[in-house]
Amino acid sequence: MATRVLLVDDHELILAGIRAALDEADEIEVVGEAREGRHVLPLVHQTSPDVVLLDLRLPDMSGLACLEAIRSRYPRVKVVALSAFSDPEHIHEAFERGAIAYIVKSVNPIDLPSALRQALDQTVYQGVQLISQRPAQNGDRLGLTERELSMLKALARGLSNQAIGKEFWVTEQTVKFHLSNIYKKLGVANRTEAARVAHERGLAELVA
């Protein structure tokens, strides 16, 4: 069955672009649109979406507050944040409020259906949840989260920040933020030292 998606954005042009991109995917069905936060909960009730693609800037209320309300009232409904902001603070807040994924509006519209599918499958965007700091299960992971280990493994393979960003569907700024956390936890100053520690400790071979 098709994944049912409710779109929330205050810009008509953005909504039209998102709908056009998602309409190209047979396995995705757009079941409704909202341009104000106060309309979201009633539409969730009326349309029973599987996921809400939610802009974080709405004219009548905070998108984060709207996100929290959706997760509280309809816990089975997943929420994917869609925002022009790519800074760590906004990403952190979105995951803290219950988003399963964070998509930056600079994403190529052609890639949006694929990005949404991967978010729902918890294959790529789950990785961004490193910000939620889920505890690692392996005692020799030096305090790194699962996603930090995945990014460290990518770094140890010699990938650039740009390549890592493409692999994990995040911006280079977000990659730098995550790598900075990794460097602090490993007690190193740069990517070369981080890669060395990863190989010495066998962390590069761990599957996050």
Residues 165-206 have pLDDT tens digits of 888 888 888 888 889 888 888 888 888 888 888 887 777 654
Q: Please check the confidence at residue 119 and state whether its pLDDT lies above 60.
A: yes
Specify the amino acid at residue 7: L
- From CA 10, how far away is CA 55, in angstroms rounded? 8
What is the location of CATH 1.10.10.10 in the chain? 136-205
Q: Which helix (H) or strand (E) is 78 found in, with range?
A: strand 78-83
Q: Highest mean pLDDT: which of 44-58, 132-146, 149-163?
A: 44-58
- From CA 164, how far away is CA 184, in angstroms rounded? 19
- Nearest-CA neighbor of 48 among 11, 9, 5? 5
Beta strands 28-34 and 101-104: pairing type?
Answer: unpaired
At 133 the three-state DSSP class reads: coil
CATH topology of domain 136-205: Arc Repressor Mutant, subunit A (1.10.10)
The DSSP symbol for 188 reads -
| Neighbouring-strand partners of residue 52 | 6, 79
Q: Is 72 exposed, middle or buried (0-12, 13-18, 19+ CB in 10 A)?
A: exposed
What is the location of CATH 3.40.50.2300 in the chain? 3-131
- The answer as to CATH 3.40.50.970 being correct for domain 3-131 is no
Q: Which residue has the higher pLDDT, 205 or 19?
A: 19
Q: Please check the confidence at residue 139 and state whether its pLDDT lies above 60.
A: no
Q: Highest mean pLDDT: which of 39-48, 62-71, 88-97?
A: 39-48
Q: pLDDT tens digits for 85-116? A: 877 778 888 888 888 888 888 777 787 888 78
